[in-house]
Amino acid sequence: MARKVVIAGNWKMNKTASEGKALVEALKETTKGICPNCADIIVCPPFTTLVSVIEAAKGSNIKVGAQNIHWADNGAFTGEIAGNMLKELGVEYVIIGHSERRQYFGETDETVNLRLKAALKNDLKPIVCIGELLEERESGATEKVLFTQLDGGLKDISAADMEKIILAYEPVWAIGTGKTATPDIAEETHKYIRSFLADKYGKEVADKIVIQYGGSMKAENAEALVGQADIDGGLIGGAALKADSFTALIENAIAGAKNK
C-alpha cells in the first residue's frame, strides 16, 4: 500500500525566533509548488522558536513539531516542557528519543516510552527515533539493538496508537557525518523494523506505519533513499536549515516515492 511521504526538519539547537520565522517565510515560497497530497512537510524548531514558526506557517502546508516532551502533565521538572504546553501553542508533532538525547541527556528506552505515552495523551503525533552506533553495526548487532529500542520504546502501545506514530530510523554513525547509509543498507534495516511491527501488531498495521530515514539525508540522495520500498520519508538535520536545500530534498523524495 502507498504511504504518504513525510519529511521533517529537525532544526536541533539552531535558529532564534526571528531566524526561524524568516526560514519558514522562505520555505512558504519555495514549497508553494509542492502538492499537499504528495508529502507532509514538518519543521521542528527549538521550543523558544515554536511560537514565531507556528505564526509564520499559518495558511501554508508546513506543519510544526517540537523536539522533546516531558512525560508529566506539570510539576517540579525544571527545564522541561509538558505536552499541554505544546498543544496549546498549536504544535502537531514531537520528536522523541533522538540519538543526541540518548547520547548526551540520558534518554533511555524507558523514558522514550513515557514521553511517547505523554505525546499520545496530548494528541501530538510522535516521531520516535531509533538507530544503532557504528560499533554495533560493525559487530553485527544492529537488529538486536533495534529490537531492544522498539520493544522498550513501544511497550504497552496498542495497535490503534501505533498507527498514530511515525518511526525514524537514524543510524547514529550517519547523523551529521556526511556518511549516509546506502539505500540498500537503509532499506534492509527498514524492512527489519517493519517486520518487527508486523510481528507485534500484524501486517495490516505494519504496512500503514511511516518509517523515515535520517542521517545525512540531502537533496542528492533523497530520491534513491525514498525510492526504496520501506523508506517513507526523512528526518533531516543539516539540510533542513536552508529553504532551498530542504525544498530540493522534499521534491526529490517525492520523485523517489513515485518510482516505487
Interface contacts to ligand PGA, rule CB under 6 A = 10, 170, 175-176, 214-217, 235-239
Q: Among residues 50 and 82, whose Cβ is nearest to ligand PGA?
A: 50
- Catalytic residue from among 70, 98, 100, 223: 98
Q: Nearest distance from residue 142's CB to ligand PGA, in Å?
A: 18
- Catalytic residue from among 170, 187, 223, 251: 170
| Active-site residue flag, 70 | no
Residues near 138 by beta carbon (within 8 Å), at least 6 away in sequence: none
Q: Nearest distance from residue 44's CB to ligand PGA, in Å?
A: 9
Q: Which helix (H) or strand (E) holds 235?
A: strand 233-236
Q: Among residues 10 and 142, whose Cβ is nearest to ligand PGA?
A: 10
Residues near 46 by beta carbon (within 8 Å), at least 6 away in sequence: 11, 12, 13, 14, 15, 20, 67
Q: Nearest distance from residue 155's CB to ligand PGA, in Å?
A: 23
Q: Nearest distance from residue 172's CB to ligand PGA, in Å?
A: 9
Q: Nearest distance from residue 75's CB to ligand PGA, in Å?
A: 29
Q: What is the DSSP letter of 61?
A: S
Strands 166-169 and 211-214: parallel
Q: Among residues 176 and 202, whose Cβ is nearest to ligand PGA?
A: 176
Where would I find the H helices in the chain?
17-30, 50-57, 83-89, 99-104, 109-121, 134-138, 142-153, 159-162, 183-201, 203-206, 219-226, 243-258
Q: Among residues 180 and 201, whose Cβ is nearest to ligand PGA?
A: 180
Count Cβ atoms within 10 A of the Cβ of residue 60 and give its class: 0-12 exposed, 13-18 middle, 19 or more buried: middle
| Active-site residue flag, 98 | yes
Q: Which residue is nearest to ligand PGA (CB)?
A: 237
User: CA 58, CA 24: separation in Å to the nearest integer?
Assistant: 10
Q: Among residues 157 and 240, whose Cβ is nearest to ligand PGA?
A: 240
User: CA 256, CA 215: separation in Å to the nearest integer?
Assistant: 17
The three grid cell numbers given for residue 252, joined into one nine-digit string: 526529490
The residues assigned a catalytic role are: 98, 170
